[in-house]
């Protein structure tokens, strides 16, 4: 849908690049009094993607929320990407999204049709995922914001967390990196339309297919790669698992055009926050161009899944993924804890 109001011009940050830095967030939450509950399988103590609460011996409830300012100008596409991004946390826990609530802030001056199209995009993504949007909350504010609060379900024995990686595992990533850099360049009208269409299609694609394949294998750990970048989310996986993740940089799928823009300095602020957060836990085993490092720290919006599974199962899983989705790749391996949480090789 074309609209006279350019949504990205109404926002100071785009997509998941608007997230607070992980280090800042950890400091803000430190020392809060919280209740303990034996039914809480996953809380925020290990920086996981969602909370998981045991309902009965066969069912656990997954809860998450995600919302952000516009990353595209098309209202329908913005709504769909934001909803896909929110539901991704449920897939990362091994579950299926079932119920959702809209979270919407409409900026002054936005036409009603644009607001409707944002919501329609969210409903479109939820319908494809098999989830039901049952209501929500809408306000007026300075900038547009949209997303979902999502509830999903998973069998308690099948819950995946970001803290279960084991030495000997291989790492699979299901979507290429570079979204934050390319959308930053797009705000300056520097990205050609075919490239934009490619990254828009990637952001609008559910992680459902990857999840449906992944759960048929003995996956030990999973996270989705969003605002904290591959290295930020990888750092949390390594830290939570007490292991070291070795990333084979040349095997990481990226949008090659992002290298050009990163070399020009068109890097979102979130990438610098991510670097600041994890740089003490990352070791370079060889010279890696700064532009390529920037892509590894680049905040992704609606990024792919990063998961760890035994080496003997990785190739079979990868072949299934390659039959169904674009550009999945084995990007590294896991060892016992070394002198850093991540090694770039």
Q: Does residue 224 share a domain with residue 128? A: no
Query: Do 251 and 143 fall into the same domain?
Result: no
**What are the beta bridge partners of residue 221?**
308
The residues pairing with 103 across neighbouring beta strands, listed in sequence order, are: 137, 147
Q: Do 193 and 129 fall into the same domain? A: no
Q: Do 192 and 152 belong to one domain?
A: no
CATH at residue 125: 3.30.1330.10
Helix runs in 130-167, H state only: none
Helices (H), the chain: 22-29, 75-92, 112-129, 179-187, 193-204, 208-214, 229-241, 257-263, 269-278, 290-296, 311-324
Residue 164 lies in a domain: no
**pLDDT for position 246:** 98
| Torsion angle, alpha carbons of 78, 83, 86, 91, to 10 | -130
Instruction: Identify the active-site residue in 16, 222, 243, 317.
Output: 16
- The answer to whether residue 333 is domain-embedded is yes
Residue 1 has pLDDT above 70, yes or no: no
Given a cut of 90, whether residue 187 has pLDDT beyond it is: no
Domain boundary among 132, 158, 184: 158
Tell me the pLDDT tens digit for each residue of 224-268.
999 999 999 999 999 999 999 999 999 999 999 999 999 999 999
CATH number, domain at 324?
Answer: 3.90.650.10
* Residue 243 falls in the annotated catalytic set: no
User: Is residue 163 in some structural domain?
Assistant: no
Dist CA 237 CA 242 (whole Å): 8
Domain containing 233 equals 169-344
Cβ contact 329:319 at 8 Å: no
What is the b/e burial string over 271-307, where b = at least 16 CB atoms within 10 angstroms of the residue's CB? bebbbebbeebbeeeeeeeebbbbbbbbbbbbbbbbb
**Torsional sign, CA 337, 301, 227, 147:** negative
Q: What is the pLDDT of residues 271-285, one digit of tens each?
A: 999 999 999 999 999
């Amino acid at each position: 849908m074309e609209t006279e109001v350019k949504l990205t011009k109404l926002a100071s940050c785009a997509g998941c690049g608007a997230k607070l830095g992980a280090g800042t967030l950890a400091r803000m939450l430190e020392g809060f009094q919280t209740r303990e509950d034996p039914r809480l399988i996953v809380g925020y103590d290990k920086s996981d993607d969602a909370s998981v609460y045991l309902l009965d011996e066969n069912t656990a409830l997954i809860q998450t929320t995600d919302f952000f300012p516009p990353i595209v100008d098309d209202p329908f596409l913005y709504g769909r990407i934001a909803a896909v991004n929110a539901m991704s946390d449920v897939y990362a826990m091994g579950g299926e999204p079932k119920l959702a609530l809209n979270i919407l802030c409409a900026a002054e001056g936005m036409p009603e049709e644009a607001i409707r199209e944002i919501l329609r995009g969210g409903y479109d993504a939820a319908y494809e995922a098999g989830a039901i949007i049952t209501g929500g909350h809408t306000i007026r504010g300075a900038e547009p914001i949209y997303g979902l609060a999502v509830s999903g379900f998973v069998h308690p024995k099948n819950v995946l967390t970001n803290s279960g990686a084991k030495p000997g595992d291989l790492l699979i990533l299901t979507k290429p990196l570079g979204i934050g850099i390319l959308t930053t360049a797009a705000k300056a009208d520097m990205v050609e339309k075919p490239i934009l269409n490619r990254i828009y299609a990637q952001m609008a694609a559910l992680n459902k297919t990857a999840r449906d394949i992944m759960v048929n294998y003995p996956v030990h750990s999973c996270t989705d790669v969003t605002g904290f970048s591959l290295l930020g989310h990888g750092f949390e996986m390594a830290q939570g698992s007490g292991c070291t993740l070795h990333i084979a940089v040349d095997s990481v799928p990226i949008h090659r055009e992002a290298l050009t823009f990163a070399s020009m300095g068109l890097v979102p602020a979130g990438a610098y926050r991510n670097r600041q957060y994890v740089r003490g836990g990352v070791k370079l085993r060889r010279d890696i161009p700064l532009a390529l490092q920037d892509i590894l720290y680049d905040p992704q919006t609606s990024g792919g899944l990063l998961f760890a599974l035994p080496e003997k199962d990785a190739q079979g899983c990868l072949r299934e993924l390659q039959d169904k989705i674009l550009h999945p790749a084995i990007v590294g391996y896991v060892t016992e804890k070394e002198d850093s949480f991540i090694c770039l090789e």
